[in-house]
């Protein structure tokens, strides 16, 4: 599972205004200048109110093409996109590389449905959404806005900009992304049976969750396509990825889920007991597929005493009828 982003700490930015008249036979040394020359100023509006922007809900973000949000026209104020630089290697993510007017490279990484920490340290708002800015080091910055407080989820842009203002560039890029989100953003193709639009927190009935995970188990969205259950005697995580199909070598023994569906289950024991059940929902390209994974974990029972895989398979069988048919 992806790890939550580090907590953002408040930063203060000071503008130094220089009025200098220079006469020279040479033009300006662009390599010594930081681009972009414009600064995005976060609004000082209150950040502790409800977040109810319909343009950035998880249901919307799941279907948006992340790379279309970072098209060259939107990012033009930051620089010129390098050839074949924009790509996506995971659901809800896009990477890009630009060259600014001074020849310096700016790398951008966009994440939709990003996992964020407490919004107590937000620094104003950007396009009406609570903003966090975390300068990671001399060249890198993580800029995020909250689209949900509980759970803490949002949209983030991480920048790497050697010689430039990485946090300023990140805010500029994220503002452009949010403006595209509010203006009929391009959607991903949805082949028959795809899991793109599925909310995994809605797949399993309360009675099944209580019988397998214990009383008090509550679901919570985890990223764009994941769901966690906590509060009972055991925890669980349910999601899907576009990845390589599971194999017996890596993912354990085969198990029959019924109706012609076969999965792999793998039990692990340590301080507790864990069982992961994986199966192919729909082939996508070459040897890749939409692969669903359910993970059951119990730290409370003695190691090995819990029928972890039996309970995991019970949950999976309850969820299968609610998945779209490829």
Q: What is the CATH number of the domain that holds 298?
A: 3.40.1000
Q: 227 is in which domain, residue-wise? A: 200-322
265 pLDDT exceeds 60?
yes
Same structural domain, 226 and 285: yes
Residue 30 belongs to some domain of the structure: no
146 pLDDT exceeds 70?
yes
Residue 118 belongs to some domain of the structure: yes
DSSP code, position 175: H
Single out the residue in 117, 148, 181 at which a domain terminates.
Answer: 181
237 pLDDT exceeds 60?
yes
pLDDT at 303: 57
Residue 260 belongs to some domain of the structure: yes
pLDDT at 286: 81
**Are 254 and 262 spatial neighbours (Cβ–Cβ below 8 Å)?**
yes
Same structural domain, 43 and 124: yes
54 pLDDT exceeds 60?
yes
| pLDDT (mean) for 202-222 | 97
134 pLDDT exceeds 70?
yes
28 pLDDT exceeds 70?
no
Gap between the Cα atoms of 164 and 156, Å rounded: 19
pLDDT at 42: 55
Share of the chain above pLDDT 70, in %: 83
Same structural domain, 82 and 166: yes
Domains in the chain, number: 2
Place of tokens 């020359």: 37
Same structural domain, 272 and 245: yes
Which residues neighbour 83 within 8 Å (Cβ) at sequence distance 6 or greater?
A: none
Gap between the Cα atoms of 130 and 124, Å rounded: 6
258 pLDDT exceeds 60?
yes
Query: Which residue did the predictor score with more confidence, 128 or 16?
Result: 128
Query: Which residue did the predictor score with more confidence, 173 or 269?
Result: 173
pTM for the whole thing? Answer: 0.85
Same structural domain, 254 and 174: no
Residue 256 belongs to some domain of the structure: yes
Gap between the Cα atoms of 83 and 80, Å rounded: 9
Residue 3 belongs to some domain of the structure: no
Query: Which residue did the predictor score with more confidence, 259 or 217?
Result: 217
Gap between the Cα atoms of 179 and 183, Å rounded: 6
**Are 113 and 244 spatial neighbours (Cβ–Cβ below 8 Å)?**
no
Share of the chain above pLDDT 90, in %: 77
Residue 122 belongs to some domain of the structure: yes
Same structural domain, 127 and 235: no
Residue 28 belongs to some domain of the structure: no
Residue 251, token pair as written in the block = 């993912």
Residue 2 belongs to some domain of the structure: no
| pLDDT (mean) for 90-95 | 97
98 pLDDT exceeds 50?
yes
Same structural domain, 175 and 204: no
């Amino acid at each position: 599972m992806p790890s939550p982003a580090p907590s953002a700490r408040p930063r203060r930015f000071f503008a130094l205004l220089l009025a200098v008249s220079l006469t020279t036979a040479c033009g300006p040394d662009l390599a010594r200048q930081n681009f972009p020359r414009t600064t995005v100023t976060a609004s000082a509006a209150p950040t502790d109110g409800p977040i109810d922007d319909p343009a950035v809900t998880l249901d919307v973000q799941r279907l948006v093409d992340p790379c279309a949000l970072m098209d060259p026209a939107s990012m033009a104020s930051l620089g010129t996109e390098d050839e074949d630089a924009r790509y996506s290697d995971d659901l809800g993510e896009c990477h890009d590389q630009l060259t600014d007017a001074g020849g310096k490279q700016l790398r951008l990484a966009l994440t939709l449905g990003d996992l964020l920490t407490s919004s107590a340290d937000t620094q104003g708002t950007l396009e009406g959404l609570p903003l966090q800015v975390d300068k990671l080091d001399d060249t890198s910055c993580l800029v995020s806005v909250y689209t949900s407080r509980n759970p803490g989820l949002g949209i983030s842009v991480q920048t790497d900009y050697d010689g430039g203002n990485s946090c300023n560039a990140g805010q500029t890029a994220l503002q452009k992304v949010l403006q595209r989100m509010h203006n009929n953003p391009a959607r991903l193709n949805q082949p028959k049976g795809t899991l793109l639009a599925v909310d995994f927190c809605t797949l399993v009935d309360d009675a099944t969750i209580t019988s397998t995970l214990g009383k008090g188990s509550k679901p919570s969205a985890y990223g764009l396509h994941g769901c966690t259950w906590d509060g009972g005697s055991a925890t669980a995580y349910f999601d899907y990825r576009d990845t390589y199909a599971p194999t017996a070598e890596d993912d354990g023994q085969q198990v029959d889920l019924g109706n012609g569906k076969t999965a792999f289950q793998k039990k692990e024991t340590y301080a507790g007991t864990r069982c992961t059940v994986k199966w192919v929902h729909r082939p996508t390209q070459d040897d890749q597929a939409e692969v669903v994974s359910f993970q059951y974990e119990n730290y409370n029972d003695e190691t090995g005493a819990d029928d972890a895989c039996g309970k995991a398979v019970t949950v999976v069988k309850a969820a299968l009828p609610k998945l779209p048919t490829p």
